[in-house]
Structure 1
Amino acid sequence: MRHVGLKARMAVVGSVLFAFYALVAIVAVEAFGVGIPIVLLGTVGFAGFQYVLGKKIALWSSGAEDMPADRYPEIHRSVERIADEMDLEKPRLMVADMGVPNAFAVGRRGAGVVVVSEQLIRLLDHDELEGVLAHELAHVDNRDVVMMVMGQSIASMLGLAAYFVIAFSRDGGIGNIVLGYLASVIVQMVAMVFVLAISRYREYVADSDAAGHVGGDAMARALGKISTANGRGDAELDDNVSALCISGGDRSALQRLFATHPPMEKRIEAVRNVDRQYY
C-alpha cells in the first residue's frame, strides 16, 4: 500500500477532529436544544462552504490566471506526462505573479488546480520545474489538500462553537464575550496542531513522490533555488496561500512551532536519497 504513513496520520487526525466535532454537536444538542438534523445540516453545509470558499480565495488572492497552452507548451506537456504516470486526470493549470518563486495545488482528484508563479518559471531549469509540478500533482493524487482544507474548516468550526458557548452563557456581558474570544483562539490553535502535523509530513511525501518522477538531484536543486530566492526577496505570501505552497517562507522561532512546512534543509537532504522511505 502506498503512503501508509500519510494515510495513517490522516486517519488518526481525522478521527481526533471528528471527536472534537462530536463534542461540539453534543453541547449544541444538550445545552442549547438544537435538533440533531439541524446540527448535521449546519456542519456539512459549513464544511462544504469552507472547502469551496477556501479554494476560490487561494486562487483569487494569488491573482492566478489560466495558463495558455500556446505560451507554456512544455509545462503542459510535462504535466500531462506526469499526471499520466500517476494515473491522474490532468489538472487545470494556472499562472500567477506571486512576487516569489512558488507553486501550490488546490482541489481533489478529477478537479485539481495547479498554480505556478511566473518567478518560479523564470528561476528553474526545466527538469527542476518538472520536480515542482510533480510535487504539486502528488498533493492532489494523495488527497492531502482536501484533508488540509477540511481540517482547517473543522478547526474554525470548533473555534466558533467555543466562542458562542462561553460568550452567550449565563448572563452574557462583555466579560463573557472576551473569555469567549480567548477560548475560541485557544481551541482553534489546539485543533490546528493536529492539522499542522499532517501539513509538514505531507511535504516530505510529495517531495519523495516528485523525486521518483524527476530524480532526487533535480528536486533538491529546485528546493535549494526556491529557498535561496525566497530568502532574498521581500514579498510575502498571503496566509490563504502560504500553507498550500511548496515553500512556506521564512519564519521566526515562535512561528516555526506552528509551521506548515518542515525546514527546507531537511527536505533537500531527504530528496537527495530517493530510496529513503517516508511511508
Structure 2
Amino acid sequence: MSRLAFRAAAALVGVALLAAYLTAALFVADALRFLWAVRPDLPVLLALLAAVAVGSASLSYRIGTAQVLASLEGDRVPRERAPDLHRRVDALAARMEVDRPTLYVTDARTPNAFAVGGSGRSGGGKAGGMVVDRSLFRLLTARELEAIVAHELAHLEGNDGFAVAMADGVGRTVVGIATVIALPALLALSGLATASAWIRGRPGDRSGPFARLHRALSEALFAGFVLATLLTRSRSRRQEFAADDRAAEVTGDPIALARALRRIERATDPTWPFAPRSTHGRTEDPAERWLSTHPSTDERVERLRRRAESQGPTRRIPAGPSGRTTGRGRSPR
C-alpha cells in the first residue's frame, strides 16, 4: 500500500472513530440533560443524593461486617477456654458504652487484634466482635493484652468502622457523580484525540492538544478520588489516637498500651533483608504515611508516654527496633 493510500485509509478510520465517540458523547449528554430536566427541586435532589450515598455505604458496610463475622464463626472463644480474657472484656465493656462483643481467636501471619461492627447500642444494632491473634497471648503480659482489648473496645464504642465506611462511601459517591457528569467531555476528547492521531497518520500518537486535555481531565478526577481516600485515611489515623486515649483512660495505664504496641512492632518487623515490608514497619515516604490507616508506632508511643508523665511516675517504655528507647522513667516493677 502506497503512503497516500495509507493516509487516506487512516483518515477514514479517524473520521469513523470520531463519529462513534461523538455519537456516544451526545447520547450520554442527552441522557444527563433528560435527567436534569426531570430532576426534583435542588434541596430534594441533594437530599436524595445524600440518602443514596449514605444508604449504599451503610449497606456495603453491614454486608461486609456480616460476612467477616460469618467467616469467623468457627473461631469463637467460649468462656471456659479463656476465662481470664472474658473476665477482662466483661469488666472493660461494663465501664464503656459498648455491649460485650463476641470473642474470636485466629492464627494470622502477624500479631494483631481488631474490632468488627459497632457498639450494639446505636439504633438497637447487634453487638460487634473482637478478633485476637493467638500469638498475642504469648507475646503480651496480662496488662498489655488488657490495654489492647480496651483499645479495640474503644473502636466499637465509637462505631469507628461505620464512621470510616460512611466517609469513604460518601467520598467515592461524590467522585463517581463528578465522573458521570464529565463523561461526555471525556468521550468527546478521547474521540478527538484518537481521530486526530489517525488523520495525521500516527495512530499511536497521543501528544496532541485533545489528548493533553483528556489526560488533564482524567487526572483531575483521579485527584478527587485520591483526595477522598486521603481524607478517609486521615480520619482513620485520628480514630487510632482517640482509641489509644480512651484505652489509657479506661485502664489507667498508658504505658501498658505503649509496651504492647512496641512488642507488636518488634514481632512484626522483618528479621531478614528480603522479608516483605511489615504493616507496622517504619517508612520515610510521605505518600505511604498519608495512605496509612494507622499512625506510626513512634507517634502513638510518644503520645502515651507524655500522658503517663502527666499522670505521675511512669515505667520505662521498651526500645523500638532500632534499639532506641522512646521515653524515660522507672523500670517495670
Matches within 5 A, 1:79-98: 79-98=89-108
What secondary structure sits across from 2:103 in the alignment?
strand
Asked if 1 retains the 8 angstrom alpha-carbon contact of 2:240 and 2:294, the reply is: yes
Distance in 2 (alpha carbons) for counterparts of 1:153 and 1:174: 29
Change (3 A) 1:40 1:158: closer
1:135 pairs, out of 142, 145, 151, with: 151
Cα RMSD over matched residues? 3.4
For 1:158 and 1:257, locate their aligned partners in 2 and report how far apart those are by CA, in whole Å.
Answer: 21
In 2 relative to 1, CA 149–38 (structure 1 residues): closer, same or farther, beyond 3 Å? closer
Q: Secondary structure at the match of 1:94?
A: strand
Higher relative contact order (CA 8 A, sep 6+): 1
The alpha-carbon deviation at position 202 of structure 1 amounts to: 1.7
Return the alpha-carbon distance in structure 1 between the equivalents of residues 152 and 33 of structure 2: 39
The C-alpha deviation readout for 1:28-84, integer Å capped at 9, x for no partner, is 997485553864553343122222134246557889832222222211111100011
Shift of 1:221: 0.9
Choose which of 273, 281, 291 in structure 2 pairs with 1:258: 291
1:50 and 2:60 correspond: yes
Identify the residue that residue 225 of structure 1 maps to in structure 2. 263
Does the C-alpha gap of structure 1 residues 183 and 117 become closer, same or farther in structure 2, counting only changes over 3 Å? farther
Q: Which has the larger radius of gyration?
A: 2
Provide structure 2 residue ranges, at least 5 long, that are not aligned to the other structure.
1-31, 121-126, 192-213, 311-333
Alpha-carbon shift at residue 130 of structure 1 (Å): 0.5
Instruction: Say which SS state the counterpart of residue 220 (structure 1) adopts.
Output: helix
Q: Could you tell me which residue of structure 2 aligns to residue 193 of structure 1?
A: 230
CA contact (8 A) 2:280 2:297 kept: no
Deviation of the 1:99 alpha carbon: 0.9
Give the conservation status (yes or no) of the 8 Å contact 1:134–1:210. Answer: yes
Distance in 2 (alpha carbons) for counterparts of 1:56 and 1:249: 27
Provide Cα deviations, 1:189-227, integer angstroms capped at 9, x if missing partner.
Answer: 112222222221221221122123331221111010011
**1:178-189 paired onto structure 2 within 5 Å:** 182-189=219-226
- Equivalent AA in structure 1 for residue 92 of structure 2: I
Task: Find out whether 1:166 has 2:176 as its counterpart.
Answer: no
Q: Which residue of 1 aligns with 2:245?
A: 208
The CA distance in 2 between the partners of 1:160 and 1:180, in whole Å, is: 14
The reply to whether residue 175 of structure 1 matches residue 190 of structure 2 is yes
TM-score normalised by length of structure 1? 0.72
The answer on whether the counterparts of 1:64 and 1:95 sit within 8 Å (CA) in structure 2 is: no
Deviation of the 1:272 alpha carbon: 2.5
Q: Is 1:156 the counterpart of 2:172 in the alignment? A: yes
Report the AA paired with residue 153 of structure 2.
L
Asked if the contact 2:69–2:129 (Cα under 8 Å) also holds between the matched residues in 1, the reply is no
Q: Cα deviation per residue 1:80-109 (whole Å; 9 max; x = unaligned)?
A: 000111142111222222211111112222
The answer to whether 1:249 aligns with 2:280 is yes
Residues paired across the two proteins, number? 240
* Counterparts of 1:30 and 1:53, CA distance in 2: 30
Give the match for residue 5 of structure 1. Answer: none
**1:256–1:39 CA distance, 2 compared to 1 (3 A):** closer
2:129 counterpart of 1:113: yes
Classify the secondary structure of the residue corresponding to 2:187: coil
* Cα distance in 1, alignment partners of residues 95 and 142 from structure 2: 18
Percent same amino acid among aligned pairs? 30
CA contact (8 A) 1:203 1:262 kept: yes
- Normalising by structure 2, what TM-score? 0.61
In the alignment, is the contact (CA less than 8 A) between 2:233 and 2:290 conserved in 1? no
Does 218-227 or 262-271 show the bigger shift? 262-271
Tell whether the 8 Å contact from 1:47 to 1:153 is kept in structure 2 after alignment.
yes
Q: What is the distance in 2 between the residues matched to 1:164 and 1:74?
A: 54
Contact 1:95 1:118 survives alignment (8 Å): yes
Unaligned 5+ residue runs, structure 1?
Answer: 1-26, 238-247
Cα 1:230/1:195, change in 2 over 3 Å: same
Query: Which deviates the most, 157-166 or 211-220?
Result: 157-166
Q: Supply the AA of the counterpart residue of 2:258.
A: A
Amino acid at match of 1:120: L
> Could you tell which deviates more after superposition, 34-43 or 100-109?
34-43
Match of 2:113 among 103, 107, 112: 103
